[in-house]
A = this chain, B = another copy of it.
Amino acid sequence: MTLATVAPIERRPLHAAAIDRLRDLILQGSLAPGDRLNERVLTERLGISRTPLREAFKLLAAEGLVELLPHRGAIVAPLNAGRLRETLAVLGALETLIGELVCAHATDDAIGEIRALHFEMRAAHARRDLSGYFHLNQAIHLRLAEAAGNAVLAQTYRQLNANVRRVRYMANLSPQRWDAAVREHDAILDCLTARDGVRLKALLSEHLAHKTASVLAALDAPREAA
């Protein structure tokens, strides 16, 4: 090689795993919106000390998952309908761009991977495996964002999506809505295959509108454990 300087082994800070675990606890709802994040309790639970934990708080606060109350600690960022609606509106704007870019720039490999995930998702749907479905659904949307070939776009999308994701885990999906969502994904995949950017934009926009309704409904009717 000529002047490759950056080592391929990406060394992560030692406690990055603990931070990821904390993020997951929030995303999955194990730590509910509004819950206080007591430093002492979390240090014991995560097996790290207060300094890296507090650094994690700052990180997650910037991601919008945690709210810092000066001198009163940190809480899991509350989810209110207004803020969620705003987030979804921004996601809509981003998806419009994604729709354009992904048809223009996505590699065939990337589309192939999305197709694979799509069929895995249909499998989860067929098994009525809601959890698996949500995960694959998320994965597809994230891959779409990545396949657009704009890293900033993908990261912004991922970050905003995180807060929506939290609601998803709280909610069930009506069978009708579930079936409809899968059909919408079928259409999205078709568009992607045909690289029809204009139509894809419209489909994504429609899909998001339905998702918005579904998410806001889930927020009103909280928590019915499966």
Footprint of B on A, CB under 8 Å?
A: 11-13, 51, 54-56, 58-59, 61-63, 68, 70-71, 83, 86-87, 89-90, 92-94, 96-97, 101, 150-153, 156, 160
Is A150 within 8 A of B62, CB to CB? no
Interfacial chain B residues near A101, Cβ < 8 Å: 89
Contacts A62-B62, A86-B152, A90-B150 supplied; 16 other A-B pairs, CB < 8 Å: A11-B71, A13-B70, A56-B58, A58-B58, A59-B61, A83-B151, A86-B151, A87-B152, A89-B153, A90-B94, A93-B93, A93-B94, A93-B96, A93-B153, A152-B160, A156-B160
Interfacial chain B residues near A63, Cβ < 8 Å: 62
Is A150 within 8 A of B89, CB to CB? yes
Query: How long is the Cα–Cα vector from A96 to B95 in the complex, in angstroms?
Result: 12
Is B12 within 8 A of A90, CB to CB? no
Query: How long is the Cα–Cα vector from A94 to B87 in the complex, in angstroms?
Result: 12
Selected A-B contacts with CB under 8 Å, 16 pairs: A11-B71, A12-B70, A13-B70, A55-B55, A56-B58, A83-B151, A83-B152, A86-B153, A89-B97, A89-B101, A89-B150, A90-B152, A90-B156, A93-B94, A93-B97, A93-B153
Query: How long is the Cα–Cα vector from A59 to B101 in the complex, in angstroms?
Result: 30
Interfacial chain B residues near A61, Cβ < 8 Å: 59
Interfacial chain B residues near A97, Cβ < 8 Å: 89-90, 92-93
Contact of A58 among B55, B68, B96 (CB under 8 A): B55
Q: How far is the CB of A94 from chain B (nearest CB, A)?
A: 6
Query: How long is the Cα–Cα vector from A90 to B97 in the complex, in angstroms?
Result: 8
Query: How long is the Cα–Cα vector from A1 to B193 in the complex, in angstroms?
Result: 53
Query: How long is the Cα–Cα vector from A211 to B162 in the complex, in angstroms?
Result: 31
Q: How far is the CB of A117 from chain B (nearest CB, A)?
A: 24
